[in-house]
């Protein structure tokens, strides 16, 4: 069985280091993108069939160059990426922001700091298997 690939959009270095260490241990293949424009580029490549579709995208909402909602909108705009499973995975939460995310079709909103590593892994596993 091939390892499920998770695309992680994250810009905080210590968090990236942790994920790079932990996720391969539990059997996920991961790729980390730290800038919004890289994600937009990646979405384009997925549309053109140059890159494979990830099983799940973990999307940080506050990135140095843009916010996650724009990325979410971009993904939902095209039929090829419309059905990608995208979880907001962030530490930034406000009810207005959450409403916008839900409106744009986010699959789940996770507050990083609220979960232990184990719980995060469980949630991801469950998300992939669905």
Partner 1 sequence: MNSVKIKNHFLIFAIIIALWSVSLYFYNKPILYRSSEWLKITVFLTIIAIFELFYFISVIFNISLKQNKIPLIISSIFAITIIFAFFFNNEILPPQLKTFLLLLFIYSALGVAILLERSFKSSAIGHLRAVYILVSFGVFIIATTLLYVFLPIISGQKEHFWFGPIFALLFLLSSFLGYYLTKEVETRKEAERLAEEWEKLAQAKDQFLLSLQHHLRTPVTPLKGYLEMILEGTYGQMENPAIKEKLIEMKKLVDTLYSLMENLLDIQEFRIKKKVLNLESCQIKNLIQGIIEELKPEAEQKGLYLKFETFPRNAEELPMIKLDKRRIREAIWNLVDNAIKYTNRGGVTILAKIEDEKPQPSDKWAGPHPFPKRRWLKIAVSDTGIGMEKKEIDYFLQGRLFERGEEAKKLYGPGRGIGLSIAIEFIKSHGGKIWAESEGWGKGTTFWIELPV
Where do contacts with partner 1 occur on this chain (CB under 8 A)?
12, 14-15, 17-18, 21-22, 25, 62, 90-96, 111-113, 116-118
> Measured from the CB atom, is 17 or 52 closer to partner 1?
17
Closest distance to partner 1 from the beta carbon of 23 (Å): 11
Q: Are strands 56-59 and 86-90 parallel, antiparallel or unpaired?
A: parallel
> Measured from the CB atom, is 36 or 81 closer to partner 1?
36
- Tokens standing for 130? 């669905």
Closest distance to partner 1 from the beta carbon of 46 (Å): 27
Over its C-alpha atoms, the chain yields an Rg (Å, rounded) of 14
- Inter-residue contact 75 to 43 (CB < 8 Å): yes
Torsion of CA 29, 35, 41, 45, to 10 degrees: 0
> Measured from the CB atom, is 2 or 94 closer to partner 1?
94
Closest distance to partner 1 from the beta carbon of 117 (Å): 5
């Amino acid at each position: 069985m091939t390892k499920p690939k998770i695309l992680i959009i994250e810009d905080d270095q210590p968090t990236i280091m942790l994920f790079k260490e932990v996720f391969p241990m539990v059997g996920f293949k991961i790729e980390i993108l730290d800038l919004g424009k890289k994600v937009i580029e990646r979405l384009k490549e997925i549309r053109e069939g140059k890159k494979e579709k990830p099983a799940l995208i973990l999307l940080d909402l506050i990135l140095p160059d843009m916010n996650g909602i724009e990325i979410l909108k971009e993904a939902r705009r095209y039929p090829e990426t419309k059905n990608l499973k995208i979880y907001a995975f962030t530490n930034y939460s406000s009810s207005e922001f959450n409403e916008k995310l839900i409106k744009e079709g986010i699959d789940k909103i996770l507050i990083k700091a609220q979960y232990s590593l184990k719980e995060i892994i469980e949630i991801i596993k469950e998300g992939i298997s669905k």
